[in-house]
Copies of this chain bind each other. A is one copy, B any other.
């Protein structure tokens, strides 16, 4: 049910940390051949691996279109629930409901507007109408009440929170002309604080180098726990990512969180730069509505785009020596979680990473 005349902050609902127990996870089946190479079959294989793996730990729902329902049902493990729904592409974390909890663990959600990361200014495809309905449709089918924000664009991947009132976002995305050019930074902060119950917003300037979303924050960093940040890093001064990570480090190391804590920052190295091959690019359908894929495009490979599930952590890996270093760092920071890995190059080729293709529904009191 849509909630009309109030805000989460006035009702005591807040955006929880990702480090909480889930009732289930949700994904969306990839299919558009103008984004996913070779008719999306290689991507479907990776999405299936993720869903089947997560289904061993918690319930999982795969949303599939009318056209792909039967194929998804056939390919996926029987433990994965398949639900028909329309969409434009598969980035559930960006377009799904943003779930909120209150102190009694009741759940609500926020339905932000979505415009394919920049709409007609610099968005990645047109139209995005079905994507923009996904949050409302999922909330309705879950019988979860939701707030609807009529005039503010926010993707789930554009924000990280500690669940204690602090959020980190990038100016290049949330304040971009194509998304929220109509509001000032102060107005944006007020909207975010009202709808996510935040006390302190830390703004980075940019996200990962060449991230086609303009740089959603989830390829840059994550919260290990309140006060502790894991930051995408490279020591290679010739990599354009070097300065971006260095700038983020500067901002973070001079920031305090909502509770007044200084932030402890751990550096998570990236793999050596990855680029799309000619063969990979040629597998993508040409389409005027979508950003084309070119051979040599830098892929936004980060390890920080992992996904926390009940009891574990799913880490993207890239056949790189740093895979093991990332595993070791995460094992150390999340000693109670089992580290599972997934070869994620196919997700990078589609413009994202693990954290964007799967969304958690918090455990809540019905």
- Interface residues in chain A, defined as those with a beta carbon under 8 Å from any beta carbon in chain B: 1-2, 59, 66, 69-70, 73, 78-79, 81-86, 130, 133, 136-137, 140-141, 143
Contacts and interface: CB of A to CB of B under 8 A. Distances in A.
Nearest to A85: B84
A84 B86 contact: yes
B86 A137 contact: no
22 contacts: A1-B78, A1-B79, A59-B143, A66-B66, A66-B86, A66-B130, A69-B133, A69-B137, A70-B133, A73-B136, A73-B140, A81-B140, A81-B143, A82-B137, A82-B140, A82-B141, A83-B137, A83-B140, A83-B141, A84-B84, A84-B86, A84-B137
Nearest to A82: B140
Interface of A is mostly: mixed
A32 to B, nearest CB: 16
A78 B2 CA distance: 8
A245 to B, nearest CB: 41
A20 B81 CA distance: 28
Nearest to A1: B78
Nearest to A59: B143
A57 to B, nearest CB: 16
A147 B248 CA distance: 56
A255 to B, nearest CB: 42
A66 B134 CA distance: 11
A133 B85 CA distance: 14
| Among A59, A78, A84, residue most surrounded by chain B Cβ atoms (within 10 Å) | A84
Given A66-B86, A84-B86, 13 more contacts: A1-B79, A2-B78, A59-B143, A66-B66, A66-B130, A69-B133, A70-B133, A81-B141, A82-B141, A83-B140, A83-B141, A84-B84, A84-B137
CB-based closest 4 A-B pairs: A66-B86, A1-B78, A83-B141, A84-B85
A83 B1 CA distance: 13
Interface core residue of A69, A70, A82 (most chain B CB under 10 Å): A69
Nearest to A84: B85
A143 B78 CA distance: 10
A69 B79 CA distance: 28
A88 to B, nearest CB: 12
Nearest to A80: B140
Nearest to A67: B86
Contacts of A82: 137, 140-141
Contacts of A2: 78
A160 B276 CA distance: 61
A82 B139 CA distance: 10
A66 B133 CA distance: 10
A114 B81 CA distance: 23
Contacts of A1: 78-79
Nearest to A141: B83
Contacts of A79: 1
A137 B65 CA distance: 12
Contacts of A84: 84-86, 137
Contacts of A86: 66, 69, 84
A85 B85 CA distance: 7
Nearest to A83: B141
Contacts of A83: 137, 140-141
A131 to B, nearest CB: 13
A62 to B, nearest CB: 10
